[in-house]
């Protein structure tokens, strides 16, 4: 387009007035999905190894003297079924 028909002050290519934000720089980085998923994996392992997991599922504790089978036997004896 010739400059006769163009708006005053307008150039052929629009200027990029906005800078890319820090968030978009991080998210658009090619290594972001790898680092993000490794962080989630590490958080999951830390949660599984934490005492919170033991409190939520005490029957999963390895080395527990009273297993699920033994608890079942104790309940059967308590109610005189065996």
Q: Which domain holds residue 70?
A: 58-82
Total structural domains within the chain: 2
Q: What does the DSSP 8-state code read for residue 69?
A: H
Q: What does the DSSP 8-state code read for residue 42?
A: H
Q: pLDDT category, 3, cuts 50, 70, 90?
A: low
Query: The whole model's pTM is what?
Result: 0.48
Distance from C-alpha of 8 to C-alpha of 5, rounded to nearest angstrom? 9
- Domain membership flag for residue 11: no
**Predicted pLDDT of residue 12:** 60
- Domain membership flag for residue 2: no
- Domain membership flag for residue 43: yes
pLDDT digits (tens, 9 = 90+) for 28-76: 999 999 999 999 999 999 998 888 887 887 776 666 555 666 777 777 7
- Domain membership flag for residue 10: no
Distance from C-alpha of 77 to C-alpha of 74, rounded to nearest angstrom? 5
- Domain membership flag for residue 9: no
Could you identify the residue written with the tokens 């059967």? 76
- Domain membership flag for residue 79: yes
Residue 63 and residue 82 in one domain: yes
């Amino acid at each position: 387009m010739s400059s006769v028909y163009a708006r005053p002050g307008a150039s052929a290519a629009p200027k990029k007035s906005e800078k890319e934000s820090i968030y978009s720089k991080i998210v658009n980085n090619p290594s972001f999905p790898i680092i993000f998923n490794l962080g989630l994996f590490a958080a999951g392992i830390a949660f599984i190894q934490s005492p919170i997991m033991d409190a939520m599922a005490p029957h999963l504790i390895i080395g527990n003297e009273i297993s699920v089978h033994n608890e079942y036997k104790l309940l059967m004896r308590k109610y005189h079924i065996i």
